[in-house]
Structure 1
Amino acid sequence: MARFEDLVALAGERRDIQLKTVLERDVRLVRFEDGHLEIALEPNTSKAVIGDLSRRLGDLTGRRWMVVVSSEQGQPTLRSLTQAREAEAKRGVLADPLVQRVLERFPGSEVVQVRRREVEPPPAGLPPAPEPDDDDAPPVWDESAYGAHGLPDDVDDDF
């Protein structure tokens, strides 16, 4: 493992949600090396987590882990970093004039979540799709003139 984030991702891939949650929520990283983890704990975290953390990391990776509690402050938890990024994205969206107009138009509405739109790249070997041009748009079939069956109505309904 090269990074602490890789270790957390591995816990997620192996579906060890409890370990992943502890690493994201309760652990402030001080130093990370493969097989050695120096951390500070969040104030409400039990010290008993340390022994369990060492054992569970060993089970996860198949190697022995040394987990040490440091007197240093450490980095913010991964969860707090994620929450800060989400809050920043939300502030950016709320600053958009269009969003402000929508919120004014619908009193009581709020921005609940901001998600980045992922754009899929075109499959390899295919040219990019051309942009639609209004002049090349196909005609719109209007059923109103002939009805749903698409044929003129020969019956005279005007009594």
Structure 2
Amino acid sequence: MPVNRTVNVSVVFNCVQNGANDFGGSATYTQSSSTPSDLGNVVDSNGNIDLRQASAYDPSQYNDSVDFVFTLAPQSTGYVTPVVWASRNGAGATIVVPQGGNAQEFQVEQSSATPQLLTIVDNDDDSNTYNYKPAVELPNFDHYYISLDPRIVNKPSSTNK
């Protein structure tokens, strides 16, 4: 039975403090591996995902769906405070449909057992562009919530394979 393809992404969030209780930041994304290993580089350093860049795959082994597994790495620059995927003040990620409508083809998965991991499952069955908003919280500052907004560009299953 075919399984989902997987893209592993390391995320370094660089938190900055703008005032006593005002924080912001940016993130750098690195695609670290994928299954199948020859999937191709589909994630840029800003976190934008373009599945049109994915290579062909064997449909007897893999289905159209893609699991994006984001691992939050310790920040390397900026204000140093613990950063975790959001869970207290909102989801670790939300999906936004730019033209309206819903994002039923996505699932966001988090587990308290692995708080550094965030998984977005994309059915990748259309050619729409979506924004996904990964979010982090600062536990030392009452779980201050910070959201970013890279995008996902899907490709329909019937083309570019």
Same fold, TM-score > 0.5, yes or no = no
Please identify the structure whose Cα radius of gyration is greater: 1
Measured against the shorter chain, the TM-score band is: under 0.3
TM-score calculated relative to the size of structure 2: 0.22
- Using CA pairs under 8 Å that are at least 6 residues apart, name the structure with larger relative contact order, 1 or 2: 2
Task: Give the number of the structure whose residues are more often helix, by fraction.
Answer: 1
Q: Which has the higher strand share?
A: 2
